[in-house]
Amino acid sequence: MNNNFSFFNRLKEPVILKADNSAEEQLEQLNALAPFLNDEGKSLLGMDIKKLEYGIVGEKNILFELKNSHMPMYIIHDLYLSDGENTAQIDYLVFTKKLCFVIECKNLYGNIEINEKGEFIRTLHFGKTYKKEGIYSPLTQNQRHMDLLKKIKSDKKNNVIMKAISNWNFNSFYQSVIVLANPSTVLNDKKAPADIKGKVIRADQLIQYIQDAVSASNELASSDTELHDWANRFLEFGTVCKIDYLAKYEKYKVEQTKEQKSEEKQPKEEKTQAESVHVAAGQNVAGQGADKADLFAELKAYRLSKSREEGIKPYYICNDKQLEDLIQKMPKSKEELLTVSGFGETKVEKYGDEILEIVRMRD
């Protein structure tokens, strides 16, 4: 990399190459699953949803800091990597002119202490009492991510010499950092080993941390073009996460209603509009007139078609109550669709254009 093209370097602000987050889609699927679980399953699901929501909030806090850094950088959010049996889900890759930061976000309850052995200890307060517990080291977790990045990067090289060079200088360009996103968390790393201290920071310290690391680096700064190509190569390394997050809840499912079974088993070509209207007739939307009933039927047909296409249950996309809310609000834009029950950013981005077109045709 070189800095011979400073005249042409026009990148002044952060650029987000990938902003979507599989956790938000997972959250929508979990929320849609709740009505179909027994009490034990709902309890487990509720705890998982809270953890997921907390993690999403933490990652958004970090994204806010990065977007407002006013630094020339490329940001990749939620990159899933797979190499045989080895996988990694990286919260953030941040590419600057000199360094790439591999960021693991932790939005943890309680205060964190790192002792002289490098162990992470969390203190939780309950009124006047408190509890201490050890937690799995996020540094160890992120090091696995770094190792997989290094291997994938090396495997892309064409010959043994280039692979050796890639492995040799990897640590000069890539840095692991753990960011504690909960603003209430107090970090105590006074006794932490020297090789750990400074690798765990709070979210409000992130930008200064990046600026200091870039300033301290002896590597030559890349041009805008080189920086863009560098970030895009890693974006291309990413793959689709195929983890089935819903499998753990299968044993907690209760008996489905006749309507749910009908939707899953009935072939699309046999599901006529008349049959759909008949199903809709028992719903609240039926009392709003034939046009609304027709729209309800068309949206259900679309939902069934997409569920078959994606190999998921129809209610994972949206349930009947959410369709009724959609018809009640008749959104005309993605912003308005976000106000409909069950439609978050991920779902709106995925299905919004097609749903809005169906609504538009019936409006």
Final residue in a domain of this structure, among 203, 237, 271: 237
Per-residue pLDDT, 289: 55
Answer yes or no: do 96 and 232 share one domain: yes
For range 195-206, the mean pLDDT = 92
Would you say residue 183 lies in a domain? yes
The total domain count for the chain is 2
What is the domain range of residue 270?
257-362
| Domain-embedded: residue 318 | yes
Answer with the one of 202, 237, 272 that is the final residue of a domain.
237
* CA–CA dist 23, 155 (Å, integer): 29
Closest CA to 319 of 343, 339, 338: 343
Neighbours of 327 (CB within 10 A): 23
CATH of the domain at 352: 1.10.150.80
Residues 6+ apart with CB under 8 A from 225: 5
323 and 178 within one domain: no
Q: Are residues 169 and 34 in the same domain?
A: yes
**Residues 332 and 286 reside in one and the same domain:** yes
Predicted confidence at residue 190, as pLDDT, reads 93
- Do 204 and 316 sit in the same domain of this protein? no
- pLDDT confidence bin for 100, thresholds 50/70/90: very high
The two tokens of residue 51 are 């953890």
Same domain, 113 and 262: no
pTM above 0.95, yes or no: no
362 or 239: which carries more pLDDT confidence?
239
Asked if residue 273 is part of any domain, the answer here is yes
Closest Cα partner for 193 from 294, 292, 117, 79? Answer: 117
